[in-house]
Structure 1
Amino acid sequence: MENKATNNHPADCDVTVQLTDCDREEARIVFDTLDHVFSACDAPQPGPEQRHDHEPTVWVATFDSSAHSSDQPPGPPQLEHPVQALLTGDHHAVAEVEKALGRLFEVRTSESVSGEHEKESRLLLAPR
């Protein structure tokens, strides 16, 4: 995944995306797909796949919701299993990433909790 972010964007545009209940490949599919729509500010750089490595239980990346790309994903993302996604950030920024995920994946469930300055949204993503 390419890091296209710059250091001079507003922090309230950042959305942290945490993925659970998925393996390295499914996390890569979701993050690469989001990277086609938004700039990744802090993208995971997983090392080479090793047979005896314990996979993390949470994959995390941060995306700049204000940095819309004109790139379209090369095709519909193909997940093998549903993936839990937790989005955290400014209300408007989280809404932008939610909309993008809704266009790219089937969103089977959605729950959100809003605070004064931040929103947390839980989504279950599945292939279309």
Structure 2
Amino acid sequence: MSGPDTADHVSVHLTSCGHDDATAVFEALESAFPSGSKVRAVDTGAGAPTVWSTVVDARTRVAPGTTVPSPLGGAVTVDLFGAADPVRQVREELAAAFGVEDHGTVPGEHELETRLVLTAHPDHAPS
């Protein structure tokens, strides 16, 4: 686990997705938190999944809930690491852009880890 830089930063890790879905998630986060964070892709080895990661600065959040729903080609697993309030803010913005299933939260002494599975937002579901 790679922790956030400060109490206002949330480390975001995506797995179980390809480049296009990772791009959709990171574009949604960038529109909600325009901090210009770098996105990294880590190839974990032959046959293993790629992990996409970035750090979101919750202090840069624009008007809450204005994130536009984005299409996804499939489900994306997201792990959020950080202090409770910034993680909650990131989760809210992801929920504005995608369908969100909570898959558990593990509290720590100074931060928490939350696992989500993102799917296509109901407004973008195929008809």
TM-score range, shorter chain: 0.7 to 0.9
2:22 to 21, 27, 31: 27
Q: Which amino acid aligns with 1:100?
A: E
Q: Is the 8 A contact 2:16 2:49 kept in 1?
A: no
Deviation string, structure 1 residues 70-126 (Cα, Å, up to 9, x no partner): 5944x4200010100000011111111111111211112331101110010000000
Correspondence 1:14 to 2:38: no
Aligned-partner Cα distance in 1 for 2:85–2:102: 20
Unaligned segments of structure 2, at least 5 residues: 42-46, 122-127
Aligned-partner Cα distance in 2 for 1:40–1:22: 23
Segments of 4+ moved more than 4 angstroms? 70-73
Count of residues in Structure 1 that have an aligned counterpart in Structure 2:
111
Alignment-derived partner of residue 125 in structure 2: none
1:1-128 alignment, distance < 5 Å: 11-40=6-35, 42-44=37-39, 57-70=50-63, 72-73=66-67, 75-128=68-121
Q: Is the 8 A contact 1:14 1:64 kept in 2?
A: yes
SS at match of 1:12: coil
Q: Structure 1's 35 and 62: CA in aligned 2 closer, same or farther, altered over 3 A? A: same
Q: Structure 1's 114 and 81: CA in aligned 2 closer, same or farther, altered over 3 A? A: same
Unaligned segments of structure 1, at least 5 residues: 1-9, 47-53
Percent same amino acid at aligned positions?
31
SS at match of 1:66: helix
Aligned-partner Cα distance in 2 for 1:59–1:26: 10
Q: Which amino acid aligns with 2:101?
A: R
**What root-mean-square deviation, in Å, do the aligned CA atoms of Structure 1 and Structure 2 show?**
2.4
Deviation string, structure 1 residues 25-79 (Cα, Å, up to 9, x no partner): 1101100111000134532267xxxxxxx99610000010121125944x42000
